[in-house]
Structure 1
Amino acid sequence: MIRLPSLGDEVSVQMDATPAEVWDLVSDVTRIGEFSPETFEAKWTRGATGPEVGAYFKGHVKRNGVGPTYWSGCKVTACEPERLFEFSVGSDSVTVNNWGYRLEPKDGGTLVTEYFRLDPNLPTRLYWLVLGPLRRRTNKLGMQTTLERMKAVLES
């Protein structure tokens, strides 16, 4: 029996900032281009103007920072100010993966955890079986870079 690697992962970074300050940054998708090594811009779509469950946005992605670019459709799936911001990536009918940020007050600052979780459908499982180890490493490095860049902005 072939055992698939876990369909997700996460990275945490302690930041010397309040949960409100971190929330303002992680929930403003229009700023992701300042921090992410892969998603260099994003914009609210379908009439959305800010974070709320059901709001849509698109992210402009350059996978691994190289190659062609493409737009990914996203939908906010969890939105708890100063605590949780999560969104799905895919189409209206198919979710490919989910990304999110958990915020926890800790030691006078905020522990920020960025995570991803792939949808467990068959095509995603097959993709993950073949490319999972490489994508997991790339995603973890990307999450670490994103959080460290956010930390630098928040602590400057």
Structure 2
Amino acid sequence: MTGRVWSVEESLEVPAPPRAVYAALADVRRMAEWSPEVIWVWPRGDRFVGVNRKACWVWFATCRIVTAAPGREFAFDNTTFGLPVARWGYRLTPTERGTLVTEYWIDRRRSGWRRRLAELLGLVFTGTPPARRAAHNRASMRTTLRRLSAACERAD
């Protein structure tokens, strides 16, 4: 039996320079264009609220931007009802043909009653059990990166 997976990364080369990819990612309203779950984003300075959907489940996430390094990295922490949930981020590495984009997810639900409550809320709102969360996120990341790449290619 394997243990719980607490972080996932996926990478894809995008045919655009790092600054252009960063600009797309930093405009958090555009997340709905490429994420298979995000349906709407309300930005508020260094924070934003994302509304997500998976099948019949709909939930919101309150996010705070924690890394904003143009051309290099963009990341945000996601909370629900004040409980830490995850860190989502994108590292950008220049390549000959554009940018290697590495999307990463780190589960921040680590211990105690806060973890148990966050896990329960996650299951109720998303329908994804904790043991399958990493695999689900990996598949979503692949879709997100393909859509991001296509959007950057169209903008070029």
- Shorter-chain TM-score category? 0.7 to 0.9
Give the TM-score normalised by structure 2.
0.82
Q: Structure 2 matches for 1:76-115, cutoff 5 A?
A: 76-91=65-80, 93-115=82-104
Give the TM-score normalised by structure 1.
0.82
Q: How many percent of aligned residue pairs carry the same amino acid?
A: 29
- The one of 48, 57, 76 equivalent to 1:68 is 57
Residue type at the aligned position of 1:43? W
What displacement does 1:3 show?
Answer: 6.6
Alignment RMSD, CA only?
2.4
Residue type at the aligned position of 1:29? V
* Counterpart residue number, 2:42: 43
Residue type at the aligned position of 1:136? A
Equivalents in 2 of 1:5, 1:90: separation in Å? Answer: 20
Instruction: Describe the superposition over 1:43-100 as per-residue Cα deviations: whole angstroms up to 9, x where unpaired.
Output: 112xx1xxxxxx11000011xx212312210001111111011100115853211000
What displacement does 1:6 show?
Answer: 2.9
Q: 2:84·2:109 contact (CA, 8 Å) conserved in 1?
A: no
Runs of 5+ consecutive residues of structure 2 not aligned to the other structure: 123-127
* Counterpart residue number, 2:25: 26
Equivalents in 2 of 1:86, 1:145: separation in Å? Answer: 18
Question: 1:92–1:135: structure 2 CA closer, same or farther, 3 Å change rule?
Answer: closer
Residue type at the aligned position of 2:27? D
Matched, 1:59 2:50: yes
How many pairs align? 144
